[in-house]
A and B are shown apart, each in its own frame.
Chain A
Amino acid sequence: MKFAIALYSAAHAPSSRRALRFAEAALASGHEIVRLFFYQDGVHSASSNIVTPQDEQDIAQQWATFVSQHQLDGVVCIAAALRRGVLNEDEAARYQRPGVNLKAPWELSGLGQLHDAIQTADRLICFGGP
């Protein structure tokens, strides 16, 4: 079964953690994740500048590790990311901003990637809110 997973919440929201646990369980059950699409506040879940207190789970880091480990297609909405200050090297240079907080394995791209993933996948699962 092919899954497309869309995440609408930041790493500190419990829904970001639920999305990660769902994605892990999907792969563990032998299913495929065609794409992860981070949209709206979900772009914060891909930021590499997040500092989590030591006694809490670093969900942003866990996401990055998960995507790298399984070589998944982790796409961050470029319009949502720019307006929230989540920039990769190219965008930071383009808009002359001092910080870069989006690195591999994440890729900035457009909403078309979500549409494409929905067409390819058997199921679209969205996570967001609290």
Chain B
Amino acid sequence: MSTLHVLSHSPFSDTRLGSCLRLLGSDDALLLSGDAVYAVLPQGSALTPLQEKTVFILEEDLLARNLDCPQWATCVDYPAFVELSIRYDKVNSWL
């Protein structure tokens, strides 16, 4: 059973990203949205081994913060977000 984990909190304001990564299964993926996209900053990825995971980023939120999509991630728009929510068996939002 695969799960898409959706984060929207900044990795610099709490420990959600770390907690999520600890229980991320091999079939699971991460979708960064809102302030969670700050995890692409070098300071952020130095804290967390994101490069080894399947990571998607909501493009709109990345652009709104003038950040670039790193090589280890895939940028998605809303139709692709919908598609991801179907590709994975469950969607777990870290509210």
Contacts and interface: CB of A to CB of B under 8 A. Distances in A.
Interface of A: 1, 3, 8, 14-15, 18, 21-22, 24-26, 28-29, 31, 122-130
Interface residues of B, number: 22
A1 B58 contact: no
Nearest to B79: A25
B72 interface: no
A91 to B, nearest CB: 26
Contact of A125 (B35, B83, B93, B94): B93
Interface of B: 8-10, 33-35, 58, 60-61, 77-79, 81-83, 85-86, 90-91, 93-95
Contacts of A127: 93
B60 to A, nearest CB: 8
Contacts of B34: 14-15, 18, 129-130
Nearest to B35: A130
B76 to A, nearest CB: 11
A25 B86 CA distance: 13
Contacts of B35: 130
Contact of B78 (A22, A128, A130): A22
Given A18-B58, A129-B8, A130-B9, A31 B82 contact: yes
A interface SS class: mixed
A21 B91 contact: no
Contacts of A22: 78, 81-82
Contact of A129 (B9, B58, B61, B78): B9
B51 to A, nearest CB: 25
